[in-house]
């Protein structure tokens, strides 16, 4: 999923959540459509291989702040397990990722810490965790061989929640994305602080629109689901 954002005097920015970051980079003119498809396909293939070799788990955590969840994950990891915050989606909604033992310990600790809900996700890989390191290492070669241009519109990176303005920054972001956390809350906060007042979600669902509602409550939110919708929305801007 991808997000386009704008505001009076703020200009246009783009961002994408997890795999959607590739969509954002295509929209910004940094990666061609064909190269974007190729990289996404290779990313998925490598993630599956990594998951087959080192199965992991993911779980949604509701009702706790990111700092609380990160502290619990760090404490569990200090015992030799693997678990970390995979997605900081919005205040009170996070996802953790790691190996089976680490996840079991973290899920129990988070429940004891007062989480409203800790729910396993129906996945067999630990995305955005160190278990994806083999996939990230192999994907690095494909990224290095891909032509990347400076973005025509500012792109907010998942792992840094800051602007990716150079080719080097984009490569670094894509290389680290599989093993690092998606900082979506901080990304949207960065856009809001830059003066963005309207967020447009481009994709089949409304997940990101709902997250933005929790992060930037006063912002305008628009969902565009297909090419016809894009054209209709653009027409309203003229």
Q: How far is CA 30 from the centre of its chain?
A: 18
Q: Are strands 220-224 and 198-202 parallel, antiparallel or unpaired?
A: parallel
Alpha-helical runs (H) found in 83-203: 100-112, 133-144, 167-176, 184-193
Give the up-direction half-sphere exposure of residue 135: CA atoms within 13 A in the CB hemisphere: 31
Annotated active-site residue 124? The verdict is no
Closest to 190 measured CA to CA, from 151, 152, 154: 154
The CA distance from 229 to 21, in Å, is 21
Q: How far is CA 225 from the centre of its chain?
A: 19
Which listed residue (6, 128, 181, 190) is catalytic?
A: 128
Annotated active-site residue 18? The verdict is yes
CB 74 within 8 A of CB 66: no
Active site residues per annotation: 18, 128
């Amino acid at each position: 999923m991808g997000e386009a954002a704008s505001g009076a005097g703020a200009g246009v920015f783009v961002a994408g959540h997890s795999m959607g970051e590739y969509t954002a980079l295509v929209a910004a003119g940094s990666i061609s459509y064909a190269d974007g498809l190729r990289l996404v396909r290779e990313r998925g293939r490598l993630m599956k291989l990594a998951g087959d070799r080192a199965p992991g788990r993911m779980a949604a955590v509701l009702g706790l702040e990111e700092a609380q969840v990160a502290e619990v994950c760090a404490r569990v990891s200090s015992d030799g397990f693997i678990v970390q915050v995979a997605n900081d989606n919005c205040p009170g909604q996070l996802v953790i990722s790691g190996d089976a033992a680490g996840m079991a310990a973290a899920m129990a600790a988070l429940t004891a810490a007062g989480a409203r809900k800790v729910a396993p996700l129906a996945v067999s890989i630990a995305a955005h965790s160190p278990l994806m390191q083999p996939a990230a290492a192999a994907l690095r070669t494909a990224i290095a061989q891909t032509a990347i241009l400076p973005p025509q519109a500012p792109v907010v990176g998942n792992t840094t929640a800051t602007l990716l303005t150079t080719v080097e920054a984009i490569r670094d972001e894509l290389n680290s994305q599989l093993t690092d956390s998606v900082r979506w809350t901080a990304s949207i906060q960065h856009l809001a602080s830059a003066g963005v007042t309207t967020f447009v979600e481009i994709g089949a669902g409304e997940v990101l629109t709902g997250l933005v509602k929790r992060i930037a409550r006063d912002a305008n939110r628009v969902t565009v689901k297909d090419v016809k919708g894009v054209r209709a929305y653009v027409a309203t801007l003229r």
